[in-house]
Structure 1
């Protein structure tokens, strides 16, 4: 295979690798690095011995992500405050049903549930349940038996069992709730907020020690409502707010002048109330939010809007 053909094959598969790596790592920066490392290994591979480029590249990328997860675990111990996955601006498509399907495996709540899994459980679960790989393919990718992979997926499924984590209400409901949330925040009234919040609502902020942020998770309508109405409303006074699609759900980008300082995304209980509020303030995690991405729910691919995904 010529060098040009080799690059073309890789570029056609790159969006699917990026979609896998982001879900594995919760960081687009690390995902891009893992995919680039995969490309470098692909360039040095003996092409004649590769039967399926996609399977080969998926294996390379998955194993590179497993290496990253080992290092990430050590870094996470020293992380300041709650950790939230890096937010992505995911562009909407023309088909509302596909948009809902698109969002289910990208919500912040779902990505946080994946954090409960061991690295190999996470890889097996994603490959099987999100990317639709057969058990023989999953086993070949992870270098394990099919029986072991079935056990990993089954065990992961018991941990990732919160149905609300992948619940995505219709876009019009999200927009109504977001507008009502902002109106209640502007009013400074905890009572107006309380009717929007689920009984188990949680509020968490990720500043990573690089921006002012709560270092604990607030729980319950009373604590969350008071904080949002009395503190967040004051902090956001005078800020420019922009509605964005963040990880498959409507969210808010908060600007201090030209500078993006916060990305807020919500999660919903199955009755449609707000049960999660995520505020990402770590500037390292906000750098890519202005760069819209597209997602193909059929194969999990992620790609830059300005690029032809080749799929």
Structure 2
């Protein structure tokens, strides 16, 4: 291959590598680093010995992500308050209902489910169930037997199919619930919120020690409803009145959510997760400024391939 064709091959695969790395790591900055490391290793590789460029690049990227996850463990232990994946303004190229597995695999709820898995379980599950790679190829990527690979995917699947929300309602239902939720927050009405929340509802906020946020996960409609209506509602009203602040509804990780901006800088992002009966069972707020730097730049997602690109 020439240098030009080498680069072209990599650029053709880059969006899928980015989709894999972001799902693996929950951080766009870390995903970009992993993909860049993959490119460096691709440039240094013996192209004549590479039979399948995409499989080779996927293997290299996966191993880069596994290395990052090893070093990330201590950071997560020392993290201040609940950790939530970096939110991205990202929509799908097609109707999410046309490929629910991959559409769901970008939601905040699903990315948090992946946190329950070991790094190799996470990689095996994503490569097989989200990116559709054959078991043999996944096993080769991870350097394990096909039998062991099947066991990893099966074990990961049992965790991922837990009661925690992965449901993606139709866009119109998302819009309706988001509007009703915002109205209830602004009214400060616990009663209005009560009809929107599932019995399994949880609330968590990520300030990372760099912005004000509640430091524990709240559970149950009574506790969540009171906090959202009485405390979040007051804080939200105060924030809306600050000079330069404005609210913007957008697609965040494939679901409708909204962000509070100060000028062009995002300061707070809220997304929801849903139970299968369409009620709200997850409320996520991200205020850590390090996780909001990319929110203003829209990304695209192709559910058929899992690719993410600008």
Q: What SS class does the counterpart of residue 211 from structure 1 fall into?
A: coil
Greater than 6 Å deviation, 4+ residue runs: none
Q: CA deviation at 1:20?
A: 0.3
Q: What SS class does the counterpart of residue 252 from structure 1 fall into?
A: strand
Spell out, residue by residue over 1:254-308, the C-alpha distance to the aligned partner (whole angstroms, 9 max, x if none): 124543111100000111000000000010100111111111111111000xxxx
Q: 2: distance between equivalents of 1:125 and 1:85? A: 18
Alignment-derived partner of residue 220 in structure 2: 220
Given the superposition, is the C-alpha separation of residues 120 and 99 from structure 1 closer, same or farther in structure 2, using an over 3 Å criterion? closer
Structure 1: runs of 5+ lacking an equivalent: 305-311
Q: CA deviation at 1:102?
A: 5.0
Contact 2:136–2:146 under 8 Å retained in 1: yes
Once the two structures are superposed, the pairs formed by residues 284-299 of structure 1 within 5 Å of their partners are 284-299=290-305
Q: What SS class does the counterpart of residue 165 from structure 1 fall into?
A: coil
Q: After the TM superposition, which of the residue ranges 226-235 and 269-278 deviates more from structure 2? A: 226-235
Q: 1: distance between equivalents of 2:35 and 2:222? A: 44
Q: CA deviation at 1:230?
A: 1.1
Q: 2: distance between equivalents of 1:240 and 1:99? A: 33
Contact 1:100–1:170 under 8 Å retained in 2: no
Q: CA deviation at 1:94?
A: 5.6
Q: 1: distance between equivalents of 2:153 and 2:99? A: 26
Q: 2: distance between equivalents of 1:139 and 1:298? A: 22
Cα RMSD for the two superposed structures: 1.4
Alignment-derived partner of residue 155 in structure 1: 155
Structure 2: runs of 5+ lacking an equivalent: none
Alignment-derived partner of residue 278 in structure 1: 284
Spell out, residue by residue over 1:142-189, the C-alpha distance to the aligned partner (whole angstroms, 9 max, x if none): 111000100100111111113653210001000000000011111111
Q: 2: distance between equivalents of 1:96 and 1:130? A: 14
